[in-house]
C-alpha cells in the first residue's frame, strides 16, 4: 500500500451533515475524526476517556460546568475524562477529534444525536 497524506480540506468537502463524525485515520487504539458542527450539541460525559477537540475552521465553544472554553481555528482543548461538557458553534465549524475507537459521540447522554463514527472512503 502506497503511503498517502490525508488532506483535511478534501476530506471535509466529502460530507455536509452536521454532528456526524467521519473517521479519517487510526492511531494505535485511537481514531482521528472530522466533523462539521453548528448549533448546540448535548450535555454529556465520557467516563473512561479524555476527548481532544481541534478547530480547523470557525469557532467552537465547549461549555463546562465550571466555565466555557472558546476555540478558534488552530486551537485545541482536551476535555478530561469524567467532565460534563456541551459543544456549541454559532456558525458552521470544522473540527478534528482524537479519541479511543468505539467512543460514543454523546457519551452517557444518548438520544437522537447518537451516531457511530463513519469511515470516509
Q: Is the pLDDT of residue 116 over 80?
A: no
Q: Give the confidence band of 23 by pLDDT, cuts at 50, 70, 90.
A: very high
| Domains of the chain by residue range | 15-96
Spatial distance between the Cα atoms of 93 and 35, rounded to a whole number of angstroms: 8
Would you state the cell numbers that stand for residue 80, as one nine-digit string? 478530561
95: CB partners within 8 A, 6+ apart: 34, 35, 36, 37, 53, 54, 55, 56, 60
The domain made up of 15-96 has a fold known as Jelly Rolls (2.60.120)
Q: With pLDDT > 90 as the criterion, what percentage of the chain qualifies?
A: 79
Model confidence pTM above 0.85: yes
Spatial distance between the Cα atoms of 14 and 47, rounded to a whole number of angstroms: 32
Q: How far from chain centre, in Å, is Cα 95?
A: 6
> Are 114 and 30 a contacting pair, CB within 8 Å?
no
pLDDT 10s digits, 65-104: 999 999 999 999 999 999 999 999 999 999 999 999 888 7
Give the pLDDT confidence score for residue 3 in this predicted structure. Answer: 85
Q: Is the pLDDT of residue 121 over 60?
A: no
Amino acid at each position: 500500500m502506497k503511503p498517502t497524506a490525508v488532506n483535511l480540506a478534501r476530506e471535509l468537502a466529502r460530507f455536509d451533515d452536521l454532528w456526524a463524525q467521519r473517521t479519517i485515520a487510526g492511531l494505535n487504539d485511537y481514531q482521528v475524526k472530522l466533523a462539521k458542527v453548528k448549533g448546540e450539541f448535548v450535555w454529556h460525559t465520557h467516563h473512561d476517556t479524555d476527548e481532544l477537540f481541534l478547530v480547523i475552521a470557525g469557532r467552537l465553544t465547549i461549555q463546562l460546568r465550571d466555565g466555557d472554553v472558546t476555540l478558534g481555528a488552530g486551537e485545541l482543548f482536551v476535555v478530561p475524562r469524567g467532565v460534563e461538557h456541551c459543544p456549541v458553534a454559532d456558525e458552521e465549524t470544522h473540527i478534528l477529534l482524537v479519541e479511543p475507537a468505539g467512543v460514543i459521540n454523546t457519551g452517557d447522554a444518548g438520544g437522537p444525536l447518537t451516531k457511530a463514527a463513519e469511515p470516509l472512503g
